[in-house]
Structure 1
Amino acid sequence: MSHGLLWFPLLLAFVLLAALGWLERRRQSLFRTWAEGAELVKLDGCGGAQLKDGRLVWCRFEAGKFQDQGDFDVCRLELVELMALASGDAPLTVESQGPCRLRLVGTDLQMDVPFSDADQARSWGDQLMARARCDL
């Protein structure tokens, strides 16, 4: 009996890990469907984003589906800034790492897109500015 009680936590851990793996696989499968046909896509811990037909749309995975959080017309993009994720309006330096957000500034609006990785956010900022210049 005592041997069975020792193995019981391991059994629970295995079931928990299997369930988490299934949820992650489902999230990735739903993301592939959501991002189909997009020019530029990302999926990380902060959510997903896609650039499709000149519109940048970002979402968050909630309750088993992707909930849109916002969209931005890339043709109206004037400036992209890399900002700290949680500390107000603090811009990040070139060597900064970790979670951050891209601030998209357009003609009459401003939106923030969260990222888990600053290097990926920098790459996205460069690509979005290149596409905005091509559309002019």
Structure 2
Amino acid sequence: MSDYTPIGQEGTFLDHVGGIEWRVEPDAVSSRLTVRSQHVNPNGTVHGGLILTLLDFTLGAEVERSIGEGQQGHPITIQLSSSMIGAAGLGETIVGSARVTARTKTMSFVSGEITCGDRVLASATAVFRNPRIA
């Protein structure tokens, strides 16, 4: 099992969000983020928009990993449905996981969740447009 590393998207929206790391294994992708002051809402818990951003990143990264080599571009989110279940506070680490449930030539169907320790914070299903294969 490898360590988490920064996602390396300098100058992008995800870089502006800050703190997202990921780990790519042969059979799965996971992401994590330690909640900082810029990630919380007025209630002092992680903002729902941040949870959705981490879900979108994680689910798309899993689609990309599962397709493998030879892609031109990245998966494009077509649809994302989520349920917010719990909250995390400042200093807690949240983790995203995903799995592809089905794929056609042009679309991938994926599900995933964000957790904090043993608590589920959100779950989601999504449809992504597959990148072209060279």
Alignment TM-score > 0.5, same fold: no
Greater relative contact order: 1 or 2 (C-alpha under 8 angstroms, separation 6 or more)?
2
Larger Rg: 1
TM-score band, normalised by the shorter chain? under 0.3
Which one has the bigger helix percentage? 1
Which one has the bigger strand percentage? 2
Per the normalisation by structure 1, the TM-score is 0.27
